[in-house]
Structure 1
């Protein structure tokens, strides 16, 4: 059985069925990206990348853990420096997000 190689440019999540919501443009580490209305920031990022960010201590890839805002493993930064929990925050048009992951 082979292994699956996941790079930053390979999306972890792929939309299969429901795709008819309005697009929501945002910036992800300075690059234009698009989510769908009602997506959490975590979903929006993981439809573009294989990881959310790297752990600030071990540098291991992170993709969220509890998915309900309790563990704070899914934090990302806004352009204003605000730290937010991506699993519990809905993406908004024009958001500028920094993950700390390689672009």
Structure 2
């Protein structure tokens, strides 16, 4: 029987979307980045909607590495927190995606970037 939780090895998120847009398709498009990959969204999309239109997870759990896709979708559960490339935490369900926004789905990516800055002597 396969394990319930994924191994600790970093795995790329599946690229199949969790959400499929069926309405409001005529809003202005914009571009943002998920783990360095440029993707498209529409003006007025929340970050959670925009990410789940691209892949099946919003982030990996910092505790188990398990995929997370949000839970309540209304800002009450704390399950959709993401990090921007500069390390800021944002709540994906209530943050509007903006042109050029850069977000990460893996905490390890944020920590390794911060560690590289520390090793080079740069302040965080």
Q: Name the TM-score, length of structure 2 as normaliser.
A: 0.72
Alignment of 1:32-71 (within 5 A): 32-71=38-77
Which sections of structure 2, spanning at least 5 residues, go unmatched?
A: 1-12, 108-124
1:50-89 per-residue CA deviation (whole Å, 9 max, x = no partner) reads 1111111122211001112222110111122100100010
User: Which 4+ stretches in 1 moved above 3 angstroms?
Assistant: none
Aligned length, in residue pairs: 95
3-state SS, counterpart of residue 93 of structure 2? helix
- Larger gyration radius, structure 1 or structure 2: 2
Higher relative contact order (CA 8 A, sep 6+): 1
Structure 1 segment 75-90 matched on structure 2, within 5 A: 75-90=81-96
RMSD: 1.4
What TM-score do you get using the length of structure 1 for normalisation? Answer: 0.86
Match of 1:26 among 24, 29, 32: 32
Q: Any stretches of 5+ residues in structure 1 without a counterpart? A: 1-6
Matched residue of 2:50: which SS? Answer: helix
Higher helix share: 2
For 2:86 and 2:78, the matched residues in 1 are separated by: 19
